[in-house]
Amino acid sequence: MKAFVRPAPLVGLAIAGWLLVVVATGSGYEQRLMALAASSALMAIGYQLVFGQVGALSLAQGACFAIGAYAAGILGGRLGWPIWLELPAAILLPALLAAVAHGPVRRLDGHYFALATLGLAVLVRLVAVDAQGLTGGANGLIGVPPLPVGWLGLSRGAGTMLAGWTLAGIGAGLALWLKRGGNGPTLALVRDDPALARASGLDPGRIRTQGFVLAAGFAGAGGALQAHVLGLVSPDVAEFSVMVGCLAMVVIGGRGSVAGGVLGALLIGHLPEWLRPLGSSYRIAYGLGLFVCLLVAPAGLVGSLERFWPRRSMPAPLAVTTSLPRPDAVLRVDGIGKSYGGIAVLHGISLELRPGEIVGLIGPNGSGKTTLINLVGGQDRPDRGRITLGTARLDGLSADRIARAGIARSFQSVAVPDAMMPTDLVMAALAAREGRAGFGHALAIASLRGEAAALLRRVGVDSDCPLEGGSVRLVDIARALALDPAVLLLDEPAAGLDPAERDRLGTLLRALATEGRALLVVEHDMVFLMGLADRIAVLLDGRIARAGTADEVRADPRVRAAYLGEPSA
Amino acid sequence: MSLAQLLLNGLALGSAYALVALGFVLVLNATGSINFAQGDMVMLGGYVAIALARLLDLSGLAVLPLVTLAMAGFGLLFSMLAWRPFRRRPPISGLLATVALGLTLQEAMNALEGAAPQAGPTLIGTGEIHLGPLGLSRASLGILVACLVLGSAQGWLLGRTQFGRRLRASAQDPVTARALGLPVDRLIATSFALAAALAGAVGLLLSGPYFVTPTSGNDLILRAYVAVTIGGWGSLKGAVVGALLIALFESVVAGYASSVVATASLYGLVLVLLAVRPAGLFPEPFGRRA
C-alpha cells in the first residue's frame, strides 16, 4: 500500500477523479481546458527528461511541440492520414530533427547549448510564419480533424479529454520507466557535475542526446494532441511563450519529477481561468503568481508535498563478491607536452607504470603535477606525445572512454553534488562500467547498492554518514575504484586526513597495488609518500628532474634545492 | 540604400543592442546568474522617460539623469525581489524569477499605458545629420555616442577600479570573498542598480527613434542573450561584437535580401559559430559559470 502514497500514483488518482467530475458535470469549456492541459503535460513530461533529469537547458522544446502540431495539421488535416499513422509521424518527426541537430551541438555546455537550441527554435518559428505553402504562414492551418472518439459513447469534448489524458498517462508511465532503477544516481551525477561524471566513465553527451531526442518526441505528441483539440494550428504555437510556459510548468511542478510536470501543466493551464475574476488585471496576477510559486515552493509543488511523506525506503543492499581484477597492462606515457596560451607547462614527459607498482609524483606548486594527471586521465588533451595502456592508445580519447578503458582518477578538490549521498556517487560510477548507462537501461539497483557499500567500507567510509573533511576524498577514491581500474591516478589523496586516516589510506593503497593495479600518487606529504612508493618521480618546471627510489631522490641536489631551499652545488 | 549607409545604420542599431547586452553582462558578472528582465527594464526606462518629460516638460538630455536615478532605485528593489531570495538556490530558479517579474512588469505597463506604441523624448533634437552621401539621425548619433561613453565607462569600472575587482571576485567565489570581508550582498545590489540605471538610459535613447510598447523588451533581451553567448559568456568585448554582428545582419542582409533571410542566415551562422567555437568568440579565461 505504501507505494501509493508516492507522488506519481497519488497525482494520477487525483487527475482520474478530476476527469470523472468533469465528465459528470459535462462542462464543454472545462473539458477543452483539460484536454489542452494534457497536451502541455506531454510536453512538460518530456522536458523533465532533458531539463529535469539531465539538466540541459534546451530551449527547443516549444519548437518540437510546434512541429508536432504542424505535423498533425499537414499530415492529418491536409493529407488526410489516419490518426494511427499521423500521430507516430508527429512524434518521430521532431525526435528525428532533434537527433540530427544534436550532433553538431554535442560538445556545447550550459548556455551555449541553450543558445544553439534557441537558434533551432527561431528557425522553426521562421518556417511556421513564413513558409506560406507548407504551414499556411500567418493564417495557420484549419480543418484538423477531431480525434476519433465517437465509439466511446461520450460527447466529443469528454471523449477528446479522456483520449488526451490516456495519451498523457502513457507518456508519464513511459517517462517513469525510462528513469527507473539505478539510473537515478547516474542522471543526477551527469546533471550536477558533468566533469566528475566523465571522469567516472559516463558520457554526458550521449545521455543528453537521449534525453533531448526523447523530450522532442514527447513534445511532438503534445503538439499533435493540441492541434486535434483546437481543430487548427496557429503560428502562435511556435512563439517563445510556449517554451517559457513549459519551463514554468516543470519548475513550478518540481524539477525532475514526472508528477511535477503534470501538476505544473494543470496549474499553468488553469491559472488564467482561475484568475479571470480579477478582470483585465488578471495577467499581472498571473506573472506575480508565477513569482510567488517560485518564491515559496523552491522544490516545486511535488517537492513541497514530499516533505510530508517519509523518505522512500531503499532496497536493502545485496551481498556481493568483488569482481576479478582487470588484466595486467603497462601504462606508458611517452613524451607528452602541454602549453597553455603559449606557456609550456609540461615538456616531453615520459613515464611508465607497471602493474602492482606505486609511483609517487612530487614537485613544487606549479610544476605541472595536476596537469600531468589531467592529460593522462583525459580531462585535457596533450599537445604532443602518446599515452598507451597495454596495446591501446589513449591520448586524444575523451575522459569517459579513458575511464572505461581502465584508468581512473581521484580529484584534488572534490565537491560531491549536494543532493547525492556517497553511495549514489559510487553507484553512478559502477553503472558507467557497463558502458551503456542512460535512459531506459535497467540496472539491478540492489546489487549496485551492495557493491557500492562494499567499496565504501573498503576505503573506510560509512555509507550513510554525511560527508565531512577528508572523507570526501576517500569517497572519491571509492568512486574511482568502482571502475575497477588497472591504473589509479590519485591527486593528493592524503591531504586533509588525520594521521590515523593517513595510515589506513597507506594500507589501502598497498593492498590495491598487491591486486595488480598500478598507482600514480601525487602528494605533498613526503613522509607519507616515502614510506609508500616503489619509485618516486620529481617534477620540476614541467620536466621529470629525477626518478628513482626514495633514497636516491632524497639525495639529489636539485630536489633538495627545490624542496629545502639549499643551494644546488 | 548604399552599403555604407546600411553599415552606418547597422552600427547605430548594434550600439543600442550592445547597451542592453552590457547591462545583462554587468549582472551576469556580479552574480553569475541571468537577468531576463533586463529588456523589460529598458522598456520601463522608456516609459519613465516619457512620463518625466511630459510631467516636467523637459528635453531628453535634461531628463536623462532623473531617469537613471529613478531606475537605479528600481534596480535595488529588483535585486531584493529577484536575487536575494534566490541566491542559494539553483541558478534556474533565479532566472525564472526574473522572467516572472519581467512578465509582471509588461502586464502592469500594458494595464497602465495600453499596448499602443508611444514615442519618447529625443536626446539631442530630431532631424538628420549629413556626412557626405550618408545620413544619420540625431537620435542614432545619440545612441552611438552613448554606447561609446557608457561602454567604456563600464569597461573601466569593471576592469580598472577596486569596485570592479571586488565585484568580479565576489562573483567568482562568494564564500571566499565574504571571508575576506567583502560586502558581497551590497556589491551585488549595487550592480543591479547600475544595470537598471543603464537600462534607464537605453530606454530613453530608444524611446525616441524606435517607440516603446509594453512588450518591446522581449526582442531586446533575446538579442542581448544571443550577443552575450556568441560573444563569450561574460565578456564585455564579446557582448559588443555579438550585438554589432546581429545588427549587421538586420541592417545589411535585410537591406539586400529580406528580414526573413536575415533572421535565417543569422541563426544559421550562430549554429555554425557554436559548432566551430563552442565557447563563443572571446571565451572566458576561467571556468564557466552556470
Which residues on chain A are in Cβ contact (under 8 Å) with B28?
none
Nearest to A451 by CA among A270, A321, A345, A539: A321
B273 touches chain A (CB under 8 A): no
Residue carrying C-alpha cell 496576477: A285
The pTM for the full model equals: 0.86
Q: Does residue A321 carry a pLDDT above 70? A: no
Residue B274 to residue A16: CA distance in whole angstroms: 45
Q: What is the ipTM of this complex?
A: 0.88
Q: In this predicted model, what pLDDT tens digit does every residue of A139-156 receive, in sequence order?
A: 899 989 999 887 877 888
Paired with A489 in beta bridges are: A409, A520
Asked if A126 and B218 come within 8 Å (Cβ–Cβ), the reply is: no
Paired with A50 in beta bridges are: none
Residue A408 to residue A404: CA distance in whole angstroms: 8
Q: Identify the pLDDT of residue B283.
A: 75
Which residues on chain B are in Cβ contact (under 8 Å) with A240?
218, 222
CB atoms within 10 A of CB A567: 7
Residue B144 to residue B7: CA distance in whole angstroms: 13
Over residues A486-496, mean pLDDT: 88
A236 touches chain B (CB under 8 A): no
Of residues A286 and A242, more confidently modeled: A242
Which residues on chain A are in Cβ contact (under 8 Å) with B270?
115-116, 119
Residue A66 to residue A223: CA distance in whole angstroms: 6
A442 touches chain B (CB under 8 A): no
Of A57, A123, A291, the CB nearest to B267: A123
Q: How close does chain A come to B264, measured CA to CA in Å?
A: 6
CB A453 within 8 A of CB A504: no
Coil, helix or strand at residue A347: strand
Instruction: Report the b/e string of A16-32 with b at 16+ CB within 10 A.
Output: eeebeebbeeeeeebbe
Query: Per the structure block, which three cell numbers stand in for A57?
Result: 537547458
A130 touches chain B (CB under 8 A): yes
Q: In this predicted model, what pLDDT tens digit does every residue of A431-456 receive, in sequence order?
A: 887 666 777 776 777 788 888 888 88
- C-alpha distances in angstroms, A544 versus A347, A361, A488, A492, B49? 9, 9, 20, 18, 66
Of A112, A255, A291, the CB nearest to B104: A291
Q: Identify the pLDDT of residue A6.
A: 67
Coil, helix or strand at residue A106: coil
- Among B93, B215, B284, most A C-beta atoms within 10 A, so best to mutate, is B93
Give contacts of A 36-95 with B, CB under 8 A. Answer: 57
B215 touches chain A (CB under 8 A): no
A103 touches chain B (CB under 8 A): no
Encoded amino acid at B65, one letter: P
Residue A351 to residue A335: CA distance in whole angstroms: 8
Of B86, B106, B275, the CB nearest to A104: B275
A280 touches chain B (CB under 8 A): yes
Please tell me the least confidently modeled range out of A457-461, B83-87, B213-217, B218-222: A457-461
A111 touches chain B (CB under 8 A): yes
A248 touches chain B (CB under 8 A): yes
Encoded amino acid at B19, one letter: L
Of A107, A108, A126, the CB nearest to B263: A126
Q: In this predicted model, what pLDDT tens digit does every residue of A325-369 receive, in sequence order?
A: 555 788 999 989 888 877 888 888 899 999 989 999 988 888 888
Q: Does residue A163 carry a pLDDT above 90? A: yes
Of residues B253 and A279, more confidently modeled: B253
Percent of chain A with pLDDT over 90: 31
CB B154 within 8 A of CB B236: yes
Over residues B160-167, mean pLDDT: 87
Q: In this predicted model, what pLDDT tens digit does every residue of B18-56 receive, in sequence order?
A: 999 999 988 888 887 889 999 999 999 999 999 999 898
Residue B152 to residue A218: CA distance in whole angstroms: 47
A365 touches chain B (CB under 8 A): no
Residue carrying C-alpha cell 550592480: B191
Asked if B96 and A248 come within 8 Å (Cβ–Cβ), the reply is: yes
- C-alpha distances in angstroms, A493 versus A6, A532, B111? 41, 13, 62
* Rg from Cα positions in chain A: 28
A340 touches chain B (CB under 8 A): no
CB B92 within 8 A of CB B30: no
State chain A's mean pLDDT as an integer: 85
